[in-house]
């Protein structure tokens, strides 16, 4: 596009709040085939869409990869994981490399491009993500659609398994940039209360998916490494664990090796029937993902081959509340985020998060947060403005009335 178009685009992006307006205008002008397309792209960027979604591609370690709206945009910090995966793959002959939670599959794509002879695979629960991964991977790459390890053919093992699982702790979501909350799927971001739900699932099944001498590499926040390393050791079926820290001071890669003599045989109970805790976590993850659907304990229990009564009892024992109460808190947390990050009406948000009655929604909201939804929206922004994130997180977390200071526990 002509320099005039670029100047106008720069001005518009700057007014919309873009810090890198000039660079972004250059990218848009290079990508647009004509003025009409440039106008459409500029509008989408002004509305807060990711630049990468608008132009349909992202640069990762000097390579161009396809991305698409609704699919997680690979981050610069993931260069650390990619470099480790490439190094581990190069150390083996004809390595079998799998990217779990693959999204656009930046790790598998870069390994395929940089390690001759590597056979790459990508797995994801989101079919739209796999469609993008297909564009980034060579013909013949394995693409596996499904939930966690269940996506893979039985018995298939790999030399290098890498993943950027969703690892954002639930309560950190509200503090994330607006464009992330509004334009990336929550499925790709949230990892439960401490961010480690998916990590634990990956660790629980890794011994059965790593070949001899295999290695599992997980991108995490450095503050999560200790708990994740403990979870790896607790499986009793994995070998040495160490971590590599990124230059940004917050990204880390947890490296977990297969046991040198092959996977320890799990006890029959663990191998044939995963422990209750693993099943309960699966149920809780499913409730997180499907929080806007009506609670169906029978269906949840059937999904993990438990009876509904056993599930309800064990859920309460492990997590300190019933499935119903957990779901209500989850919905209210989501509503809190939407109230602060969107202009949607309270009624729309009530329906978005899964309530069918505004009355029940308002009552629950008040019970957990202490004020009605409209008051929360009006007051919250002022109260949190200028507050350090660690304090904001504490004051913006839902508190049950009976847990609030000065109230009785009854």
Ligand X SMILES: C[S@@+](CC[C@H](N)C(=O)[O-])C[C@H]1O[C@@H](n2cnc3c(N)ncnc32)[C@H](O)[C@@H]1O
Residues in the chain, how many? 410
Q: Which string of x and - marks every residue 167-196 that binds ligand X (by CB under 6 A)?
A: --------------------xx--------
Contact 112, 138 (CB under 8 A): yes
Residue nearest to ligand X (CB): 103
Site for ligand X (CB under 6 A): which residue of 164, 220, 252, 280? 164
Q: How far is CA 122 from CA 98, 299, 389, in A?
A: 6, 29, 35
Residues 6+ apart with CB under 8 A from 172: 195, 393
Residue 201: CB minimum distance to ligand X, A: 7
Give the three-state DSSP class for 403.
Answer: helix
Site for ligand X (CB under 6 A): which residue of 31, 125, 304, 392? 125
Q: Does 283 bind ligand X (CB under 6 A)?
A: no
Residue 361: CB minimum distance to ligand X, A: 27
Q: How far apart are CA 410 and CA 408, in angstroms?
A: 6
Q: Which string of x and - marks every residue 64-83 that binds ligand X (by CB under 6 A)?
A: --------x-x---x-----
| Contacts of the segment 52-58: beta carbons below 8 A, 24+ positions apart | 53/183, 54/28, 55/27, 55/28, 55/31, 56/31, 58/104
Closest to ligand X by CB, 42 vs 201, is 201
Residue 311: CB minimum distance to ligand X, A: 19
Residue 101: CB minimum distance to ligand X, A: 3
Contact 280, 248 (CB under 8 A): no
Torsion over CA of 195, 198, 199 and 204, rounded to 10 degrees? 140
Q: Which helix (H) or strand (E) holds 314?
A: helix 308-319
The neighbouring-strand residues paired with 96 are 119
Closest to ligand X by CB, 103 vs 263, is 103
Q: Which helix (H) or strand (E) holds 257?
A: strand 251-258
Site for ligand X (CB under 6 A): which residue of 38, 66, 101, 252? 101
Q: How far is CA 258 from CA 94, 195, 382, 401, in A?
A: 18, 24, 51, 47
For ligand X, which stretch binds (CB under 6 A), given 124-132, 298-306, 311-319, 323-331? 124-132
Q: Does 102 bind ligand X (CB under 6 A)?
A: yes
Site for ligand X (CB under 6 A): which residue of 52, 88, 124, 204? 124
Closest to ligand X by CB, 162 vs 232, is 162
Q: Does 129 bind ligand X (CB under 6 A)?
A: yes
Closest to ligand X by CB, 25 vs 58, is 58
- Binding-site ranges for ligand X (CB under 6 A): 72, 74, 78, 101-104, 106, 124-126, 129, 147-148, 164, 166, 187-188
């Amino acid at each position: 596009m002509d320099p005039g178009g670029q100047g106008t685009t720069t001005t518009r992006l700057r007014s919309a709040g873009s810090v890198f307006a000039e660079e972004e205008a250059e990218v848009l002008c290079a990508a647009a085939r004509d003025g009409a397309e440039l106008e459409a792209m500029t509008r989408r960027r002004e509305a807060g869409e990711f630049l990468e979604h608008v132009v349909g591609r992202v640069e990762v370690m000097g390579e161009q990869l396809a991305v698409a709206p609704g699919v997680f945009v690979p981050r610069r910090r993931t260069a650390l994981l990619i470099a480790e995966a490439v190094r581990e793959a190069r150390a083996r002959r004809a390595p079998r490399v799998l990217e779990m939670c693959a999204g656009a599959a930046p790790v598998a794509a870069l390994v395929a491009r940089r390690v001759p002879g590597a056979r790459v695979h990508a797995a994801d629960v989101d079919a739209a993500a796999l469609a993008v991964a297909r564009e980034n991977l060579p013909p013949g790459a394995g693409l596996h659609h499904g939930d966690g390890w269940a996506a893979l053919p039985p018995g298939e093992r790999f030399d290098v398994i890498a993943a950027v699982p969703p690892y954002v702790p639930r309560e950190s979501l509200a503090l994330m940039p607006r464009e992330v909350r509004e334009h990336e799927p929550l499925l790709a971001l949230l990892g439960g209360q401490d961010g480690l739900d998916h990590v634990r699932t990956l660790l629980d099944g890794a011994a059965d998916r790593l070949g001899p001498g295999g290695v599992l590499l997980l991108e995490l926040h450095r503050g999560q490494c200790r708990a994740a390393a403990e979870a790896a050791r607790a499986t009793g079926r994995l070998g040495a664990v160490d971590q590599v820290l990124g230059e940004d001071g917050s990204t880390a890669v947890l490296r977990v090796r297969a046991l040198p003599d092959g996977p320890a045989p799990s006890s029959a109970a663990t191998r044939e029937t995963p422990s209750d805790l693993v099943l309960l976590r699966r149920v809780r993850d499913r409730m997180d993902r499907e929080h806007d659907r009506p609670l169906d304990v029978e269906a949840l229990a059937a999904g993990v081959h438990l009876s509904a009564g056993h599930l309800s009892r064990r859920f309460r024992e492990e997590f300190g509340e019933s499935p119903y109460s957990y779901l209500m808190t989850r919905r209210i947390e989501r509503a809190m985020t939407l109230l602060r990050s969107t202009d949607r009406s309270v009624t729309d948000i009530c329906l978005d998060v899964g309530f069918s009655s505004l009355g029940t929604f308002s009552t629950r909201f008040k019970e957990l947060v202490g004020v009605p939804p409209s008051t929360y929206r009006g007051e919250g922004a002022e109260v949190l403005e200028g507050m350090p994130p660690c304090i904001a997180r504490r004051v913006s977390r839902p508190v049950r009335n009976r847990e609030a200071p000065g109230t009785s526990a009854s």
